[in-house]
Amino acid sequence: MIVTTEYIDLPLPGNPMRMFVAAPNVPGQFPGIWCYSDIFQLTPPMLRFCIRLAGYGFIAVAPEIYRRIEPPGTAIPFDDAGRTRGLDDAQKTPVAHFDADCRSGLDWLAQHPKVAPGKIGAMGFCIGGHLAFRAALQPDVRAAACWYGTGIHNGKLGQDADAGSLGRVNEIRGELLMIFGERDPHVPSDAREIVNRALKSSGVRYETRLFPAEHAFARDEGPRFDPESTDQAFAATISLFRRTFPS
């Protein structure tokens, strides 16, 4: 499916929230997916993922998560200085700001003329995997794919030492897909087990997929990119969304 792309600035207090929007270039309405980046914001790998997702029949919308800190249009480089900058930006951002921007974005997505009513999901990578998990706390998010989400097991997110995300798992009404790399030092086996136990005891509908890969294995730039694991995880993500949002 051919797609169209554009940037849209959502007016909010302080700086606007710039969003990359990829949509099928055909008539009709489609499920809307709120897509979170890693700490580097809207880099080429993130944009390519959104375009690919839109090509499967979804409206993919990715916000700049550091809109209060970085100027609109800032994509942070994949180098040591960029990693430090992205982590610093995260540590300056309280979870309340992430949550408020999520709610604003979901409200915008629900009003998009090409988004089918009641069909909203979320996904994200790394810090964005944790943000997608928190998006699933919103009652209108019916499915979320969390790719190697950091800090879910211990609550660390942004400025907050413990955002309490896992403790709120009973609020989740949709289905979760938890994607991890077995060689991920940021989410090792004990951390994955903490998440798994909490999800299992909560009764939330979820699936965990573990791949023989490292952290950020889906980023198609750099030495950790694993094409096969990425394709399999992407297929699982598409399966989740198509099962949740049948045509």
Please identify every residue annotated as catalytic: 126, 184, 215
Q: Which amino acid is at 176?
A: L
H or E stretch covering 22: strand 17-24
Considering Cα of 148, then 138, then 10, then 121, what sign does the dihedral take? positive
Which residues on neighbouring strands pair with residue 124, listed in sequence order?
36, 146
List the one residue out of 136, 120, 148 whose CA is nearest residue 213.
148
Place of tokens 């090409």: 114
**Is the separation of the CB atoms in 57 and 30 below 8 Å?**
yes
112 in Cβ contact with 147 (< 8 Å): no
Rounded CA separation 33/58 (Å): 7
| Inter-residue contact 192 to 185 (CB < 8 Å) | no
Measured from the Cβ of residue 26, the count of other Cβ atoms closer than 10 Å reads 12
CA distances from 187 to 2, 17, 167, 211 (A): 36, 29, 18, 13
Using alpha carbons only, what angle is made at residue 131 by residues 113 and 212, rounded to the nearest 5 degrees?
Answer: 110
